[in-house]
Structure 1
Amino acid sequence: MAEKRMELATFAGGCFWCMVKPFDQQPGIQSVISGYTGGTKENPTYQEVCSDTTGHYEAVQISYDPQLFSYEKLLEIFWQQHDPTDSGGQFFDRGTSYKPAIFYHNEEQKKLAEESKRKLQESGRFSKPIVTEILPAKTFYRAEEYHQDFYKKNPERYNAYQKGSGRADFIARQREV
C-alpha cells in the first residue's frame, strides 16, 4: 500500500482561533495548528507577537493529503475567511500580527496562490484592491496549548469572538455573493 504524502499549507487571516475551524473538519486534513510565522524572533510567545515587535503573523499550518483535498480548495476556503482588502489587520484585530498572508511552501503553491488572488481581484467581488500578501514560508512556531483547537475548548467564547469581531457577519455576506 502506498504511503500517504502529506503536504503543508500556511495561512494568516487575522486571529488564528478563527482560522482553524473552517479547515479542521474537511476530508484529507490531518491537522490544523495555530502558531506564528514570518517574523525574526525564535520561539516567540503570544505576548511578544501581539506586541508587533517580532514581525510574526498569527497563522495556521495545515497538514493535508493533496489526493483528498487540493491546495486550490484550501485557497478557496482561505479567501472566504478574511477581508483580503484590509492590510492593517483583520476585523477589530489590528497590527502586523493580524495581517492576511499566504505562506507558500513550494513554487506550485506560489503559482496557485497568485492565480487565485488574481482571479479574486478580477471577479469584482471587492471594490478595493486585494492586498493579502503571498510570501515564502518561514519557520512556523506552534502557539501555546491554550490556543490550539480554541473553538472546541471554548465554544461560547469562540462564538462571541466571531460575532463581536465582525468576522461572522463578513463571512455570511461572502456566502451571499
Structure 2
Amino acid sequence: MKAYFAGGCFWCVTPIYKIYGVDSVVCGYSGGDEVNPSYEDVKSQKTGHRETIELTYDEGNVDYDKLLDIYLANVDPFDGEGQFIDKGFSYTLAIYYQNEKELKLAQEKIAELEATSGKKTQIALEPFKSFYKAEEEHQDYYLKNPEAFEEELKSSGRK
C-alpha cells in the first residue's frame, strides 16, 4: 500500500515514519500539474506542487488510520502559511487520498482535531494525481547529513 502526505519540509518528516514500521519513505513532489519538477522549481512556489512523502507500508504492520495519527502529531495543523520556518505553498499541508476510505478517515481525524482544539485546521484534502520522486540528495537526508539534519530540526522549531 502507498500513502501520500505533504507535511512541510520532507527531510524533517521522513525519519518519523521509519520508526513506526513503514517499509519505505520517498521524498518527492505532488499536487501540481508540472511534470517531473525539480527541487528548485517546487521551492520557487511556481509549480503548484508541495514537498510530499510517499509511504509504502504493509497494513499488517501499520494501517492508514495510524499513519494519519502520526502525520497529525508531527505537523502544525493550524499553520496555513507552511510549516515552522519553511513558508510558502510548497510547505503547506495536504493529505492526498486515493480512495473514499482514505478520504473519510482523513475527514474524521481532522474533524476530531478541530473539535478538541476549537480551531480550524489548514490541511488540504486533495485527490492523489501524481508523485514525482525528488532528486537523490533529498532521499534519506537525515542519514546522509546527520549534523545538518539535526540543525535543521532545531532551527526549524520542530525539535
TM-score bracket relative to the smaller structure: over 0.9
Query: Are residue 13 (structure 1) and residue 12 (structure 2) matched?
Result: no
Query: Are residue 69 (structure 1) and residue 62 (structure 2) matched?
Result: yes
Q: Deviations along 1:2-29, whole A, 9 cap, x unmatched? A: xxxxx111000100001100101322x2
> Any residues of structure 2 matched to 1:77-116 within 5 Å, and which?
77-116=70-109
Q: CA RMSD in A?
A: 0.9
Distance of 2:102 and 2:11 partners within structure 1: 24
State the 1:68 CA deviation. Answer: 1.5
Taking structure 1 as the reference length, what is the TM-score of the superposition? 0.87
Q: Which runs of 5+ in 2 are unaligned?
A: none
State the 1:128 CA deviation. Answer: 3.3
Moved over 2 A (4+): none
Identity, % of aligned positions: 45
1:4 aligned residue: none
Q: Deviations along 1:107-157, whole A, 9 cap, x unmatched? A: 111110010001111112xx5311111111111000000000011111111
State the 1:105 CA deviation. Answer: 1.2
1:164 aligned residue: 155
Query: Are residue 140 (structure 1) and residue 134 (structure 2) matched?
Result: no
**What is the letter of the counterpart of residue 141 of structure 1?**
Y
2:111 aligned residue: 118
State the 1:67 CA deviation. Answer: 1.8
Distance of 2:71 and 2:5 partners within structure 1: 7
